[in-house]
Structure 1
Amino acid sequence: MDSLLKRIFDIVTAAAGLLLALPLIGLCWTIAAIDTRSNGFFIQKRIGRHGRVIHVCKIKTMYPGDSRRSPIASRNAAVITGSGRFFRKYKLDELPQLFNVLLGSMSIVGPRPDVPGYADRLEGGDRIILQLRPGITGPASIKYKNEEEILASMDDPLAYNDQVIWPDKVRLNKEYIRNYSLLRDFGYILQTLFGRGPHEHP
């Protein structure tokens, strides 16, 4: 993998994306701030490259200071704001992560940055995933774009996530690294934005 070429691609793409998305980010921030009566941005600790903690910026979708939050998103339905449901459905809450990409803690395409307790516990050959900057989108994100709905339909969403979804994401992310190309990254971006691109993981 040509990490320099990937980084240049990230910088150019994130800068262009921010130029286009800044008005939308500003609008979402304003709506979230009004809805939650707090700062419309939410900073969350996630696991980044080499297992280090990074701080990911998102549009706030839940009421602040609620102790009922769970790492499994489907369990947070009761504390998600009205605007938050809309932002999550159309992934608008992810847009501020373009700042993370520009600053170097994330990539446009790559494994999603997980909360502590998952990626930082990878073992053996699975730790190859931690060699990459985490991404805004990627093959695992595309396959599980409706992850919240899937987990909400399960009797035990935590067990299903740990036993089915998480291992499959690890597999997809390892395949992404083994088969990496800049053209594939571009395809994943198109697939994320428009539902078109390489359909390698139906």
Structure 2
Amino acid sequence: MRILTALITAVVITATSYLPGIAATMGEDGLHKQPWFTITFKDMAEDIQAASEEGKRLVVIFEQRGCTYCRQMHEKLFSDPEVTDFIKEHFMVVQYNMFGDEEVIDLDGEELTEKTAARKWGYVFTPTIVFLPEEVPEDGSVSEVAVATMPGLFGKWTFLNMFRWVHEKGYEGEEHFQKYHARIYNELREEGRIDSE
């Protein structure tokens, strides 16, 4: 009986270790949703101000229906507490549909839709993650004032380190993100926390 129980336990552990991350909720627009995403009127100045009042930074994520990389971001990265806990503590995240029709008001006051905003700002990949300044800038559009942009899907440590670099205002210093990421990555390897990205 003990052997049978041990075998069943081993099979269950092995099978569950290969399951993908927890699936995100799917919205009517075909985009994966996280309960901690913030729903706003997509007025960029108001959103930057609202994030600032919470002691956070505004992040905009462009996604699209059927995007395999977006799904992987939700299932693999946003199911990892180390990633999501850091993001939720320091950032207010607003989701945009690359081909959506919801109204967007750019920082320069221009009224757009999500899809025309994506075109105006030059974002063509999904996911694209856009990091905005701490305070509402005096002039410029989103693409002109963004402090960093992450186009596409990356592994956990590149992804998380970009959020850390922005939180630490690395864009104001001399250490380029790639140098920052390499330094943090090597420190994590030396601590035995990672084998590879």
Same fold (TM > 0.5):
no
Q: Which of the two has greater helix per residue?
A: 1
- Report the TM-score, using the length of structure 1 for normalisation: 0.29
Largest Rg, 1 or 2: 2
- Report the TM-score, using the length of structure 2 for normalisation: 0.30
Q: Which of the two has greater strand per residue?
A: 2
